[in-house]
Amino acid sequence: MKFGKSRSAPHPKPNRLESFLVRGALMIAMLVGLTTGLSGYGFGVEEQMRIARDSLRSHAASGQVHIVEIDAFSLSKYNDWPWPRQLHGRLVDQLGRDGAQMVAFDVDFSARSNAKSDQAFADALARFGGSVVLPTFKQKSRSNSAVFSENLPIEPLRAHAFLASVNVTPDPDGQMRHYNHGTVTSGTPRPSIGAMLAGTNGHIGSEFRIDTSIRPDTIPRHSFADIVEGRVPVSALRGKSFLVGATAVEMGDRYAVPGHGVLPGVVVQAMAAETLIQASSNPTLGWWPALLIICGAALVALRIRNGASNSLLAGISLVALLGMPLLLETMRWGSLEIVPALAALFWLTALNMAVAAFAKLRVARMEDAQSGLPNARALEQSARPSPNIAVVAVELKQFDEITAILTSDERTDLMKRVVDRLGVGIGAAKLHILKPGTLGFFISDGEIQTIIEEVEGMSSLFRAPIELGRRSILITPAFGLAFGAGKATGELVLQAGNAAARAAVADQRWALHSAEVASETDRALLLLADIDHAIAHGEILVAYQPKWDIKAKSIKSAEALVRWNHPVLGPIPPDEFIPVLEKQNRLDDLTLHVLDRCMADLRLWQAGNMNLAVAINISAPLLADTDFMAAVEERLTVGDSLAALLTFEITESATVSNTQTAICALEKFRSWGARVSIDDYGTGQSSLTYLKSFPADEIKIDKSFVSRMKQNKGDQILVRSTIDLAHELGFKVVAEGVEDRDCLALLERFGCDTAQGWLIGKPMPAAALIDLIQSNHVPEQAKMRKAG
Ligand code: C2E
Ligand code: CA
Ligand code: CA
C-alpha cells in the first residue's frame, strides 16, 4: 500500500535524455523500415502474409471458364501423345453441340501432322459456332540470340481461329505471380489466352497480378475423354468458355503458384482469366504508404507523450497494419506491402519500451518503496527553488521502537498521518523520505529566525498523539536544518540529517547544522538550541580565576567562569553565549549548573581543609526570576553552611535597570549568608554615592580602568579615589585585570583589598587552582614580593 501526493505513475514523464532517446528510436525505426523496404529483405514474410490473407479471402472461381484436361485418363484412353488432330476436331464438334461459347487450346499446333488429320481438325474449327482460340508461343530464335520469334499454328487451322499467346514468365524465385494482357513479338501484338477467355482487352504488353485468392480447385474441370464421349451433361457446359490443356504430370508445363503449390500451366491460364473476369487483380501499392502511416502515428505518439496511450496507439497501429491490406485487397483497391512498416513499428515499440523501462527504473530509484514518497536521492537531485534554500530533516524519535509493535498496515497508516501533519506546516514543499523514520524537505528562503519559528510551529503540531485504531501514539519529531548558498543539495541533505539526529539525541526540538553557521545570529541560534544538551552532557565546565588577597599576600578566593567546549564549534567564550542565553531567558539552568559545580568543589576543598571562597556571576534578569531565586535559596539554606563562602557578582548596570527587584534579590542573597559584589564598576553611569544604599559587600573595579592605570594618570586617580570612597562607604574593593607587577604595586599602595588578573592566574580548572595555591609561591608571587 502506498500513499503520497506524488504516487508514482506507471508511465513516468520522460526526462530530457529519455525524450531524446525516444526521438532517436523514431529515427532508427524509420531507417529500419526504409532499409527493409529498399532491400526487399522482408519479401518472404510479405509473401507469407499475403498467402495468409489469400486464404482468408479465398473465394471460388466464376465458373465461366472450364478446363478440359488432357489428363492421365484421356492419355491412356487415346494412346500416345500427340494425338491425331481429328481427336481435337471431335472435341470441338462435341463442345459445339454442347453450346460452348469459346474453345481455347493451350496445345501446340505449330507443326504439321498428317494432312488428313490437320484438315479434319480445320474442318471442325470451321464448323464450330463460337470462337476458337489457338496458341502462339514467343521464343528466342536461337538460345543465344536476343531476337524473338512467334510460333504460330499451322496455316489451315489459323484460318478458322483467333490467335492468343500462351507465354507466361515466373518471377525470379520461380513463383508464378504475374500474367500479361498479351505480348508483342517483332511488332506484332498478341493478346494472351487468359485475356481472350475473359473477353477483356487490357494494354497488350502490360502485366497484372494473378488473384491467388481464387481457389484453383473451384475452376470446373472435365476430362478430355469425358467431353468427347458426351459424358458431361450439356447443361453444365452451355454458354461457357473452355480452355483445353494438359494436366497430366508427364506432360510437364507446371508452375509454382503462391499458396497453391505447383499447378499445371493450363490452370494458371485459367486463374489469370478468372482474375480478369472478376476484375480482382490488385495493383501493387508498394511498401512506403504503410511506412508513412507508421511514421505519422509515431509523430502523433511523440506529441501525446503519454505512455498508456502510446501503447494503445502501437496496438492500434499493429492491428491497422495487418488489417489494412486485407481491406484494400478485398475492396480491390490495391495490394499493400507492410513488412517494412511492421519492422519499423517493431523497432519503434521495442525501443520505446526500453526507454520507458529505463524511465520507470529511474523513478523507482527516486522513490521510497514503502510509502511511494520521493526518497533522499530525489531530494538531492531535485532542483533547488533558490540557492539560499534550506534543507530540513525531520527525525521521528524512537521510530524503530514505536513501529516495531505495529503491523505493516498500521506503520503505513502512521507514516501517512505523520506526513499529513507535517504537510500542514510545510505548505507547498514536497516531503521526501530520507531513511526510515526520517523525512526531509526544502524550506523557503527567509530569515533564519523565521525558519526556526516555522519549525517550532511544525514541532508543536505533534503535541497531540496520533490515534491509530485503539492505539494512541506520541510521535516526537526532531528537526535538523542546514543552510548554505554555495553548497550542493546532497551535502545539505546530509548535514540536515545529522543535525536532526543530534537534536533527537539531545532531546531538542531542532538543531542547526553548525560547522559553517557563519553569521552571529546563526551562531547564537545554534547555541540556544544546543545549551540544554551541553549542560546534560558535560560540555559546560567551570574554570576558576584566582583572586589575590593583597594584605594576606595569598590566594583566598576565586571567580567561577563558565567554559563551553562545543563538539562542533570548539571552545565558545562566555561573552558570546551568555548574552544570547540572557536575551532568551535561558540562563537559569546554566547558572544553577555553575552554582552546583562550585558548591561541589567547595565541599571538596573544605574536606581538604582549604577555606577558599568562590564568586559566581549572576546575570541581571535572573534577579527577577522567582523560580531561579527559589532554586538558589534551596541550595544555600539547606544543610552545611556553604553560603558564607559564596559571593554573587552582579554587574553595575543590572542594579540600575530594575533597582527595586535587584535590591530585593541582593538582600535575599545576604540574608542566606552570601556576599554580594558589584561587578564591572565604572562601566555604568552610577556613582558610588548612589550605590551607597545598595546591599553589597564589595565592588569590582572594571578591568578597563585597572589595566590602563600605568599609562593613564586619570585612571590612576579614578582607581585610587574609588578605592578610598568605597572603603569609606564600607565596601571591600577588588581590582580586575591585573596583568603586571607595577599594576599590583600601585593597587597595594592605594590600599586595594583584592587583585584579580592574569598576573595572579588565568581562569583554570579546579585542580590547577589547588596546585597553584599549594605550591605557595608562584613565580609571579616571588616577583611581586620583590617589587613590593
Ligand atoms: P567578568 O565577570 O568581568 O569576568 C572577568 C573576565 O575577565 C573573564 O573573562 C576573565 O577571563 C577576564 N580576565 C581576567 N583577568 C584578566 C586580565 O588580567 N586581563 C584581561 N584582559 N582579562 C582578564 P571571561 O571568562 O571570558 O568571562 C567573560 C564574562 O562572561 C565575565 O565577565 C562574565 O560577565 C561572564 N561570565 C562568565 N562566567 C559566567 C557565569 O557563570 N555566569 C554569568 N552570568 N556570567 C558569566
Ligand atoms: Ca565577574
Ligand atoms: Ca568583571
* Phi, psi angles (nearest 5°) of residue 751: 85, 20
Instruction: Say if CB 179 and CB 192 are below 8 A apart.
Output: yes
Q: How far is the CA of 212 from the centre of ligand 2 (A)?
A: 114
| Ligand with an atom nearest the CA of residue 618 | 1
Question: Could you tell me which of 351, 365, 371 has the C-alpha nearest to residue 31?
Answer: 351
- Could you list which residues have their CB under 5 Å from ion ligand 3? 679-680, 736
Atom number of ligand 1 nearest to Cα 561: 38
For residue 546, say if its preceding peptide bond is cis, omega within 30 degrees of 0: no
Q: How far is the CA of 568 from the centre of ligand 3 (A)?
A: 28
User: Whose CA is closest to atom 27 on ligand 1?
Assistant: 574
| Ligand with an atom nearest the CA of residue 579 | 1
User: Cell 471431335 belongs to which residue?
Assistant: 90
In this prediction the pTM is 0.54
Please write the tens of the pLDDT for every residue from 301-356: 888 766 677 778 888 889 999 999 999 999 989 989 999 999 999 998 898 888 88
- The residues lining ligand 1, judged by C-beta closer than 6 Å to any ligand atom, are 545, 560-562, 573-575, 578, 591, 594, 617-619, 649, 679-680, 703, 737-739, 756-758, 763
Please write the tens of the pLDDT for every residue from 102-129: 999 999 999 998 899 999 999 999 999 8
Q: Please tell me the predicted confidence (pLDDT) of residue 631.
A: 96
Q: Please tell me the predicted confidence (pLDDT) of residue 288.
A: 93
Q: Please tell me the predicted confidence (pLDDT) of residue 211.
A: 94
Question: Could you tell me which of 667, 694, 681 has the C-alpha nearest to residue 756?
Answer: 681
Secondary structure tally for the chain: helices H, strands E? 31, 31
How large is the C-alpha radius of gyration of the chain?
57
Cα separation, 637 vs 728, whole angstroms: 31
Cα separation, 649 vs 766, whole angstroms: 19
User: Whose CA is closest to atom 7 on ligand 1?
Assistant: 737
Ligand 1: residue of 535, 540, 561, 747 to mutate (most ligand atoms within 8 A of CB) is 561
**CB count in 10 Å sphere of residue 778:** 17
Q: Please tell me the predicted confidence (pLDDT) of residue 11.
A: 64
Strands (E), 141-187: 148-151, 162-165, 178-180, 182-185
Q: Please tell me the predicted confidence (pLDDT) of residue 788.
A: 33
* Phi, psi angles (nearest 5°) of residue 438: -130, 125
Residue type at 523 in one-letter notation: R
User: Whose CA is closest to atom 46 on ligand 1?
Assistant: 617
Q: Please tell me the predicted confidence (pLDDT) of residue 5.
A: 42
- Enclosing H/E stretch for 438: strand 438-443
Q: How far is the CA of 224 from the centre of ligand 3 (A)?
A: 140
All residue ranges of the chain with pLDDT < 50 are 1-2, 4-8, 518, 778-788
| Ligand with an atom nearest the CA of residue 574 | 1
Cα separation, 769 vs 762, whole angstroms: 10
User: Whose CA is closest to atom 3 on ligand 1?
Assistant: 680
Atom number of ligand 1 nearest to Cα 736: 15
Q: Please tell me the predicted confidence (pLDDT) of residue 287.
A: 93
Q: How far is the CA of 703 from the centre of ligand 3 (A)?
A: 7
Instruction: Say if CB 454 and CB 461 are below 8 A apart.
Output: no
Compute the Cα dihedral for 351, 357, 363, 366 and give only its sign: negative
Q: How far is the CA of 561 from the centre of ligand 3 (A)?
A: 11
Q: Please tell me the predicted confidence (pLDDT) of residue 661.
A: 86
